Amino acid sequence: MEDDKVIIWAGPPPCPRTRFEAEVIRELEALVRALPAGTASLRIGRLRASPGLLEPEFDITPANPRAASVGGYAVADDLELVIGHAEQEFFRFARGGTIVRGASWQDELRWVWEVVVAGGFTQRQYFNKRGKLVGGYSKICLKGTEVVFSASRPQRLVGRAYASVKDVIYEPYF
């Protein structure tokens, strides 16, 4: 069955405590299944940092290595999204309108997904002397609203000396 290759359950399955946590899993499954076969895979499990917790964590890995991965987790009514190597936490995301006033959370998640799948956005990445990624950020535009995803607070990156800075332009999924 094709879904076996697309959706990967890792370790003990999450036990969503809220309706939102369960709906996030279903929404992500639908988004990944809607892609052409072989475009990406979705891993769902419990939070790796705290396996005793029951909340769902997910990672979407594109087949194109130059496309941005998507990951994160849902806790209660909050959503943590990671695009490439930068993240943003959306408090009370389940209530909708977190990014675009009046929008549902499903619409906002789909809009973020469409930007990631289309590619073409840039992520600035900062590396230390050992070549380890230590910070970075991306800006994406959703329905006229700019959203910043950051691996550290952008204001902390300004003026700091790093060994190297790299701008990554993410490619489309297909």
21-58 confidence digits (pLDDT tens): 999 999 999 999 999 999 999 999 988 777 678 889 99
Angle at 113 between CA 125 and CA 28, to 5 degrees: 115
Segment 73-83 shows an average pLDDT of: 95
Would you say 56 and 21 are in contact if contact means Cβ atoms under 8 Å apart? yes
111-160 confidence digits (pLDDT tens): 999 999 999 999 999 888 888 888 889 999 999 999 999 865 444 544 55
Which band of pLDDT confidence, cut at 50, 70 and 90, is reported for residue 1? very low
From the list 39, 80, 78, 42, the residue with the least C-alpha distance to 62 is 39
Lowest average pLDDT, out of 6-10, 16-20, 94-98, 163-167, goes to 6-10
Angle at 156 between CA 150 and CA 161, to 5 degrees: 110
- The dihedral sign for the CA sequence 78, 9, 114, 102: negative
Domain regions of the chain by residue span: 3-169
